[in-house]
Homo-oligomer: A and B are copies of this chain.
């Protein structure tokens, strides 16, 4: 094929959807891009930025798209799957860019019915400080990991097509079991966000909070940077990945309890052991 994807429909033309469109167009990996979304303004912006060629007024307007990418917040996934299901062509491949996978797979299995084998669950590991089409960049995925989590029923040809799509953006595609994906991201992404929100909220509730924030320095800045993230997005991700996240939260609280107990006893050796292992692991990771 000269053009791997003739017609691509993107639902949600924000940072991820918009960057995908830009990357594929720049690499000439796509023919026509159709945009769908809740907000007309975002779609108009995406069109004026050259990301999409056409705006579909409703799911029926996707026409005979080869592929549909769902790049919307987690909480909107089930509703969109329900809306698009009746309009999918016989060969249309469906994929998503959500941060959690188990819940999207469950919703897709229920709502897509016999079309579920053509659904390829995905998660591009790339983000930026800002959101919306104006934050999109053609190089957002270059060298980044994209995790695909095929289910047992997933059609191998659909999986290959979505793999090729992401490779076309310069990303590296990795395949992983959805449950394992959700555990790993609960630990390295979702838990840190919750832990940062918790620290800032605990301080913000104090009557003399201004005095605390006044003396916060660079360590605090780095640690809490992700607490400025979108509350709605993280509420939805937390709920979507509830089981795995509760397990991680519990392990984290146990570790904090271990540190508190060592501190209470004045156990310098125990504190040293924990801090040294952590410092070494963090330095090794940064070095890679």
Query: A residues bordering B, Cβ < 8 Å?
Result: 125-127, 145, 147, 180, 184-185, 187-189, 191-205, 209, 211-232, 234-235, 238-239, 242, 245-246, 249-257, 259-260, 263-264, 266, 268, 271-272, 274-283, 285-286, 288
Instruction: Say how far A144's CB is from chain B's closest CB, in angstroms.
Output: 8
Residues of B within 8 A of A209 (CB): 281
Q: Is A215 a contact partner of B277 (Cβ separation < 8 A)? A: no
Residues of B within 8 A of A201 (CB): 255, 274-275, 277-278, 281
| One of B197, B204, B217 near A127 (C-beta < 8 A) | B217
The 7 closest A-B pairs by CB, nearest first: A231-B275, A204-B281, A200-B278, A201-B278, A188-B216, A197-B278, A192-B223
This chain's copy number in the assembly: 2
A225 to B202, CA, bound (A): 21
Residues of B within 8 A of A219 (CB): 127, 189, 192-193, 225-226, 229
A125 to B276, CA, bound (A): 24
A167 to B48, CA, bound (A): 54
Instruction: Say how far A125's CB is from chain B's closest CB, in angstroms.
Output: 5
Residues of B within 8 A of A202 (CB): 251-252, 254-255
Contacts A203-B187, A249-B260 given; does A198 touch B274 at CB 8 Å:
yes
A257 to B282, CA, bound (A): 26
| One of B223, B259, B264 near A223 (C-beta < 8 A) | B223
Q: Is B268 a contact partner of A235 (Cβ separation < 8 A)? A: yes
Contacts A192-B224, A193-B219, A197-B278 given; does A253 touch B249 at CB 8 Å:
no
Q: Is B199 a contact partner of A283 (Cβ separation < 8 A)? A: no
Instruction: Say how far A211's CB is from chain B's closest CB, in angstroms.
Output: 6
Write the chain B residue with the least CB distance to A145: B215
Write the chain B residue with the least CB distance to A203: B187
Residues of B within 8 A of A260 (CB): 246, 249-250, 253
6 further A-B contacts with Cβ under 8 Å, apart from A199-B278, A235-B272, are A127-B219, A195-B195, A197-B259, A199-B255, A200-B278, A221-B286
Instruction: Say how far A20's CB is from chain B's closest CB, in angstroms.
Output: 17
Instruction: Say how far A219's CB is from chain B's closest CB, in angstroms.
Output: 5
> Can you list 22 contacts pairing A with B, beta carbon distance less than 8 Å?
A126-B217, A184-B212, A184-B215, A189-B217, A189-B220, A192-B224, A193-B219, A195-B199, A198-B256, A201-B275, A201-B278, A209-B281, A219-B225, A227-B278, A228-B286, A235-B268, A238-B271, A242-B263, A253-B253, A253-B257, A253-B260, A256-B256
Residues of B within 8 A of A228 (CB): 279, 282-283, 286
